Amino acid sequence: MRKIIDRHLATLIFAVVALGFVGGGIASLASARSVSSVFWMAAAALAAGYSLVSAVLVVLRERRTGVDVVAFLAIVGAVSLKEYFAGSVIAVMVLTGSSIEDWAKGRARRELRGLADRTPRTVTRVTEHGLSEIPLGEVGIGDVIQVAPGAVVPVDGLMISAGVFDESALTGEGLPVSCAPGEKVSSGVVNAGAPAKLKVTISPAESTYASIVRMARSAEASTAPMVRMADRYSLWFLGITGIATGLGWVLGGPARAVAVLVIATPCPLVIAPPVALISGLSRAAKIGVIVKGGAALERLSRCTTLLVDKTGTLTEGRPRLSGIYVAEGCDPDEILRLAGSLDQVSPHVLAHSVVSAAKERALALHAPSQSVETPGEGVRGLVDGYQVAIGQARWMGITEMPGWAQAAVRQAETDGSLSVFVAVDGTPSGVLTFNDRVRLDAARTLRRLREDGMDRIVIVSGDKKEVAEAVGSVLGVDLVLAEQSPADKLHAVKKESALAPTVMVGDGINDAPALALADVGVAMGARGQTASSESADIVLVSDHLERLGQARSLALRARKIAVQSIIGGIGLSVIGMGLASAGLISAVAGALVQEVIDVLAIANGLRAGLPLGKPWNDQIGMKLAQKFSAEHVAVMADIEKMRRIADSISPSSRHSIDSVREMVKILEENVMPHEKAEEDLLYPSLKKYLGGRDPLEAMSRGHTEIVRQIRRVGMLTQRLDVNGIDEREAAELKSSLYGLAAILELNTFQEEETYSSLLDAVSS
């Protein structure tokens, strides 16, 4: 029976009914039949009242006829025939079914409640006088706090000292995450290392974890979903019950009619759907997806059109250094080192990307002096005795760009990238290009959504047409709508929603109206955009788009399980009613049979809370995947260098020969051992987990081709004349290096996507 009245009152009623049933049994054993009848009749009357109130509340609150009326009629019918024992059995079964439902819901909700239970109440603040314990509400922006080992990070901040954190409770990430000084740490993660210090960047009330707790409480308080599905089946079930009851009355009188009603009593129609959906909510919370109520999960299972923002959703939402172009005679690493050193003093988002890229390449950054920044234009300063400037060409006074710089700018425009000039001692020396990289999990997420019935995928982006369409072509979407204002996005959602149920995914404040209008709004909550998170029905706590695909799969499974439970429960009940109308099942036996049906329906509904698939449990393999993924940073740098060398090759150039030989040495000493170690150490673990004949055959073939091409370039280099190379040799070398770079880049991206997918699956 659907729980309508207060849980504590329902528990008390169940306790009283159970005592009445037991008391009647004791009196019956003592041959006090009149006393036992009083106990049993009282228990039946109390349960009948409970069923009647529940049925009336269903009508008043939800404007539908519930099957609670069947429970009421069964109890009243048994008592009217003086079948007091049967009436009390029905009463116990009815209240037991309600209690089992409450238990099942409570079990499914514990992941959501656990979020609030973990909320820190106090904070250790670091001052010049030492450490002090203060209430969380007294923490201010700019304060330095210390997080003890095993403690929950209470508020968002930037790391002052390095730390290791367990993000499993917040994002579902199964492995500890290391954070370097200056990196952002979200509240709610657990310190898995030594005491860590961080600088508070946001108030406790606006922190990531506080927002998640509010959304979790909202989800827990949400009304039970899927009553519409129950309504569609309940009318048929009530009709069948009426026919079977009438048939039983005709064939065997009132006693058989009561037996039929008993079997029809606690209907799986009402119990199974909420249990399945709430179990789905619980599993979603475990993997870092907050769903604001079961109704949102049910709607997600029905949507067939996806509209998705580009920046910060399909892409990482932050610029990354994608290329370094330098003047002849300049070293790219040195240009990046000088730029990174100067950019340490700049708060600009591109400056952070330059510094990060320099650190990834282990370049030694030095503190600049005499730095001056012109907002929106660039920054100047002294680095190691050099006057370095980074910014726009016109700000630097560059009126005529040299040929190499023109080529770099054209290439950046073709790729949809930003370009920034670097000048050393007043001379243009380098061009840095930046792009917003497509997320590693974007392509596989969209593939998964299509497999799960998402028929139409549309990119709705405020970015330029060329950039948005480039991303759309990579991901294979159906339509790209570029240069969209918030009003345009709203119109797009309205138009698509008129054709099919629609999901809108975004991360920015400008996405909030569209998220609110869509049938299901999904926000990328890791970026801390409160407006979009509050407007959305579903929030992806972690910065993994893959969670959207998992949420969709969970929604489909929960709905499928709910339908299974409904149809299975109805089918078993109909069979039981047929047997009862034929006189083969008594009222007491019928009550026991129906209770078994209810338990089966609830147990089936709880399956929606199970993991979606088997996790990758090879700890050595996971560590190897993390290790090789980290090494891919160096591999990508080698690929970039390989292309630069190929660009510079020209006939009769001694410099070209030296550069190629240096590149061959790097490939043989760094890249080849990396590829061989992946093949020998990691791939066996991956093949065992993925199953099949050889799921990594294509990638293994890529390793073979990479090694072959490296050796081929080495052989070509050995045959070069010490005095230079001719046009044919230059063309052959260029072709070989470009080809090798393309194969190596493709293989690296494939591995990154595979490693990311498997490491992500650990926690799903």
Q: Are 70 and 48 in contact (CB under 8 A)?
A: no
Q: Where are the beta strands (DSSP E) in 477-553?
A: 479-481, 502-506, 520-524, 538-540
- Helices first, then strands: H and E counts in the chain: 27, 22
Is residue 66 over pLDDT 60?
A: no
- Across 488-494, average pLDDT: 89
* Two structure tokens written together for 136: 């969380």
Contacts 24+ apart (CB under 8 A), 689-693: 689/616, 689/618, 689/621, 689/758
100 vs 155, which has greater pLDDT? Answer: 155
pLDDT value at residue 220: 47
Q: Is the pLDDT of residue 464 over 60?
A: yes
Per-residue pLDDT, averaged over 361-387, amounts to 87
**Catalytic residue of the set 309, 463, 543, 598:** 309
Residues of the chain with CATH 2.70.150.10: 122-214
Distance CA 74, CA 91 (A): 9
Backbone torsion region of residue 398, taken as left when φ is above 0, otherwise alpha when ψ lies between -120 and 50, otherwise beta: beta
Nearest CA to 13 out of 86, 82, 102, 84 is that of 102
HSE of 191, CA atoms in CB hemisphere, 13 A: 22
| Range with top average pLDDT, 267-281, 600-614, 714-728 | 600-614
CATH of domain 619-761: 1.20.120.520
Q: Residue 224 has what pLDDT? A: 40
| Share above pLDDT 90 across residues of the chain, in percent, rounded to a whole number | 12
156 is catalytic: no
Q: Point out the least confidently predicted range of 264-278, 325-339, 404-418.
A: 264-278
> What's the predicted TM-score (pTM) here?
0.69
Closest CA to 589 of 260, 269, 241: 260
What is the DSSP-derived secondary structure letter of residue 724? B
**C-alpha closest to that of 391 among 426, 423, 435, 425:** 423
Q: What is the dihedral of CA 689, 695, 698, 700, to 10 degrees?
A: 40
Query: Residue type for 76, please?
Result: V
- Give the end-to-end CA distance of the chain in Å, rounded to a whole number: 32
Name 159's bridge partners.
198
The answer on pLDDT for 659 being more than 70 is yes
For 397, other C-beta atoms within 10 Å of its C-beta total: 10
Bridge-based pairing of strands 502-506 and 305-308 is parallel
Mean pLDDT of the chain: 80
Q: How far apart are CA 572 and CA 683, in angstroms?
A: 49
Residue 521: helix, strand or coil by DSSP?
Answer: strand
The rounded distance, in Å, linking the Cα atoms of 707 and 668 is 9
pLDDT grade for 553, boundaries at 50, 70 and 90:
very high
The pLDDT score that the predictor gives to residue 485 is 80
pLDDT at position 212, please?
62
> Which tens digits make up the pLDDT trace of 128-140?
888 888 888 888 8
Q: Quote the pLDDT of residue 348.
A: 78
Torsion of CA 693, 694, 698, 702, to 10 degrees: -150
pLDDT at residue 213 above 70?
A: no
Residue 441 near residue 753 (C-beta atoms within 8 A): yes
Rounded to whole angstroms, the Cα distance separating 340 from 334 reads 10
Q: Residue 351: pLDDT above 90?
A: no
Band of pLDDT at residue 205, cut at 50, 70 and 90: confident
Q: How confident is the model at residue 511 (pLDDT cuts 50, 70, 90)?
A: confident
CB neighbourhood size of 621 (10 A): 21
Question: What class is the 122-214 domain?
Answer: mainly beta
Q: What is the rounded distance in angstroms from the CA atom of residue 437 to the CA atom of residue 432?
A: 15
Q: How far apart are CA 83 and CA 64, in angstroms?
A: 31
The 10s digit of each residue's pLDDT in 244-270 is 888 888 888 887 887 887 777 655 666
Contacts of 286 (CB under 8 A, 6+ apart): 111, 172, 763
For the ranges 289-298, 489-498, 525-534, the maximum mean pLDDT occurs at 489-498
| E strand or H helix that includes residue 644 | helix 619-648
**Closest by alpha carbon to 279, among 107, 48, 447, 409?**
107
CB distance 604 to 564 below 8 Å? yes
Give the separation between CA 479 and CA 159, rounded to whole angstroms.
Answer: 41
Please give the average per-residue pLDDT across 147-162, as a whole number. Answer: 87
Question: Which tens digits make up the pLDDT trace of 375-401?
Answer: 767 899 999 999 999 988 888 877 788
Cα 746 from Cα 155, distance rounded (Å): 40
Contact partners, residue 463, CB within 8 Å, separation at least 6 = 310, 311, 482, 483
| Banded model confidence at residue 231, pLDDT cuts 50, 70, 90 | low
To which residue do tokens 């069964």 refer? 74
pLDDT at 103: 58
CB–CB of 594/265 below 8 Å? yes
The per-residue DSSP string of 84-106 comes to HHHHHHHHHHHHHHHHHHHHHHH
Q: Where in the chain is the domain with CATH 3.40.1110.10?
A: 320-435
> CATH assignment of 281-316+438-548?
3.40.50.1000
pLDDT band (50, 70, 90) for residue 337: very high
In CATH terms, the fold of domain 320-435 is Calcium-transporting ATPase, cytoplasmic domain N (3.40.1110)
Q: What is the mean pLDDT of residues 294-309?
A: 90
The reported pLDDT for the residue numbered 652 is 61
- pLDDT tens-place string over residues 73-119: 767 777 777 777 777 777 776 676 566 555 545 554 554 555 556 66
Rg (CA), the chain: 33
Q: Are strands 122-127 and 130-135 parallel, antiparallel or unpaired?
A: antiparallel
Residue 307 pLDDT > 50, yes or no? Answer: yes
Note the pLDDT of residue 455. 93
CA distance 24 to 86: 12
Q: Indicate the pLDDT class of residue 487, thresholds 50, 70 and 90.
A: confident
Beta-carbon neighbour count of residue 424 at 10 Å? 19
Integer angstrom CA distances of residue 106 from 111, 260, 275: 10, 31, 10
The percentage of the chain sitting over the pLDDT mark of 70, rounded to a whole number, equals 81
Model confidence at 332: pLDDT above 70: yes
* C-alpha dihedral sign at 707, 710, 716, 722: negative
Task: Name which residue leads in pLDDT, 10 or 594.
Answer: 594
Structure tokens at 294: 């079961």
pLDDT, residue 477, reads 92
